[in-house]
Homo-oligomer: A and B are copies of this chain.
Amino acid sequence: MSADPGFFTVVDAQRACREFSDAPVPDALIDRVLDAATHAPSAENRQPWEFVVVRDPQRRARIGDLMRRAWEQHGREHSVGRLSPELFTAVDRGATGSISAAPVLVVAAADTTRCLPVTVPSSIFPALQNLLLAAGAVGLGSALTTIATAFADELRTVVGLPEAVIPVAVVPLGVPARPLGPPRREPFAAHTHRDHYGTPWTTP
């Protein structure tokens, strides 16, 4: 992988990774992806993000336990009829152990002493998207997961977040267990309108 691969090459190849090899993830790669994360915009440029990079096996296991419990108590039954069988199997495996088996889990949070609570999503998800893209750019797999925040207080305890710091997502980082397939997306033009909803962007 080049030191600075093509922007659209990276964007067009993005796909969630939920199974990882044991290959180590050097700090230098984590530096690069978190530096990219913090170049995202945020409301009022307040940059309210906090990242806890978890390598400690015990803490990763506890986060994995939260994911599994949230999935078994709330997610699985809801999702079984909504996801394709293939995606369901991948998500089920991910939530019950393969995601938390990644060598690194990044707990991403928002410090509400530095931003208005209403701006947390618009200030944190762009940074998370940068983090995911940058992971792909340096050859790592990653995924945006929020299920562990169903037990926000317990997640907060595992990584010691103060009361005002709200956990938003857990992103696994690692070398993919196998090559990721191409992303599956509908054509953008199917959801794009010209000046008014319902007027197709493209003339057929």
A89 located at the interface, meaning its Cβ lies under 8 Å from any Cβ of chain B in the complex: no
Q: Which of A9, A51, A87, A191 has the most CB of B within 10 A?
A: A191
Is the CB–CB distance between A197 and B159 below 8 Å?
A: yes
Given A121-B122, A129-B129, A137-B7, do A16 and B44 touch, yes or no (CB 8 Å)? no
Secondary structure at the A interface, as helix, strand, loop or mixed, is mixed
Is the CB–CB distance between A192 and B129 below 8 Å?
A: no
Given A6-B7, A161-B197, do A40 and B129 touch, yes or no (CB 8 Å)? yes
A31 located at the interface, meaning its Cβ lies under 8 Å from any Cβ of chain B in the complex: yes
Query: Which chain B residues border A50 with CB–CB below 8 Å?
Result: 191-193, 197
Query: Which chain B residues border A143 with CB–CB below 8 Å?
Result: 41
Residue of B nearest to A144 (CB): B41
A12 located at the interface, meaning its Cβ lies under 8 Å from any Cβ of chain B in the complex: yes
A69 located at the interface, meaning its Cβ lies under 8 Å from any Cβ of chain B in the complex: no
Is the CB–CB distance between B159 and A196 below 8 Å?
A: yes
Query: Which chain B residues border A180 with CB–CB below 8 Å?
Result: none
Residue of B nearest to A79 (CB): B44
A186 located at the interface, meaning its Cβ lies under 8 Å from any Cβ of chain B in the complex: yes
A8's contact among B4, B111, B122, B161, by CB below 8 Å, is which?
B4
Question: In chain A between 119 and 136, which residues have their CB closer than 8 angstroms to a CB of chain B?
Answer: 121-122, 125-126, 128-130, 132-134
Is the CB–CB distance between B133 and A125 below 8 Å?
A: no
Query: Which chain B residues border A130 with CB–CB below 8 Å?
Result: 11, 129, 133
